[in-house]
Amino acid sequence: MPKLSPAANRILFIGVCCAIGIFSILVWVSVYSVVRQSPALGLQPIPQISTDKTVRAVWNSGLYTENISAAAIFWLDNDTILVRANNGPKPRTLEGRRARLDWLYLWRLGEKPNPYGNDPHAATKGPHCAARGEISYHVEIVDPTTGTRSRTRWLGPPGEEREIAPLNQLRASFAMNPPSIERTDCEIYGDKAMIGTQYTTDSEHRFYLDFGADPVLAAVHAKPEQPIVLMRADGSERVALPISNAQAGPGSTHFHGFDGMFYLANHILTASPINHLANWRDTKCWPFWRVDPQTAKTERLCIPFGPWSGINGGATIVDLAPTKTALFFSARSINVKDESGFYRLDNGAVSRIFPGSVESPSISPNGCRIAFNYVPTYDAHGVYSPISSSIVAIDVCSPSSSAPSSSKLK
């Protein structure tokens, strides 16, 4: 075999080193790909919530949802929840994300959530709701010949629903009812006499809070600012509250039947066009109000400024969660450096109950339980992160109010 020249030897040596390097890179890429797609690694939600004197019980549904806005949580009763979620764990691949479907689930606390209806996916094709022992959902029907799509609406106790007329949405006059407002029925409520204004109502539709025509513009520019008006549903007994429509809006207003109170606030705090965060820092108070519709008594309360306030800049969303035992709130910031979490407010003092992001909190009719989408760490928002969110419920009353066989998370 002829001996290679020194130049050829150098070329051969460099080529072998390059080949080894490329092979190593390919091996590591393959390993990473397998690890990232492995269904055995960290697919289950991992909420870190412990029971103590404040949180008496915790239930983890194991249900994952990526679309928080669609994850409206409704209480069928104090023990049972209706929720829309993915039909499986968090997808770890692009193919898995494309294949995922939303299903409707009925979840009795302490038991495994059950897909609801003959076709749980078809039942998510329209608004769904649960209240006072009845469920409402829509089913999409596709004509096999023409491909024409239509929807039917069903309402009734679980397993006993009957087909009824579709919802009649009075879009210019319907009352703002966030999922956090306790529902006494599953109808969209509208009053033609309120056309041209934005308003919200209590569960029994006895009282209105009139926010005027442009509460959003009032909050941004403070030009059409006007007092929020409490009145009877027939338009009588109008009382101008010491709260303007620039300070609170219909989308951030809650009513809860367990204490019969309205809770008003501005729950989205941004730095532009009005620097809400600077105002919070300067005044040491993020205000909210509790209004008794029977007497018009208005109580102004404050959440003090602190690490939960989005102190590193950006936007912060604050959701109130009043209960029978205490007033809680969630704070979540778009800045990873901020302390997102679930907090208790007690005589002006704030204490964090657990870290993580609490989204779409919904209060049970008895005021003892809170259900929400729980994102334990900021990284869980990542599409391919092994950490998942989950629909979780907690009990903040005495153990006697807890459902049987509660599965506590440690």
Question: What contacts 196, CB < 8 A, 6 or more positions away?
Answer: 172, 173, 213
Does the pLDDT at position 29 exceed 70?
A: no
Per the CB < 8 A criterion, the answer to whether 391 and 71 are in contact is yes
CA-only gyration radius of the chain, Å = 26
Q: Tell me: the pLDDT tens digits for 73-119?
A: 999 999 999 999 988 888 878 888 888 888 999 999 999 999 998 88
* pLDDT at residue 273 greater than cutoff 50: yes
103 three-state secondary structure? strand
Quick check: 31 pLDDT over 70?
A: no
pLDDT confidence of 3, banded at 50, 70, 90?
very low
Mean pLDDT of 120-128: 85
The model's pLDDT over 356-406, given as tens digits with 9 standing for 90+, comes to 889 889 999 999 999 999 988 766 666 667 778 899 999 999 765 554 433
pLDDT value, residue 91: 82
- Backbone torsions φ then ψ of 341, nearest 5 degrees: 175, -175
Q: Is the peptide bond before 361 cis (omega within 30 degrees of 0)?
A: no
pLDDT for 134 beyond 80: yes
What's the whole-number mean pLDDT along residues 341-364? Answer: 92
The average pLDDT across 42-70 equals 76
pLDDT at 348 over 50: yes
Give the model's pLDDT for residue 98: 84
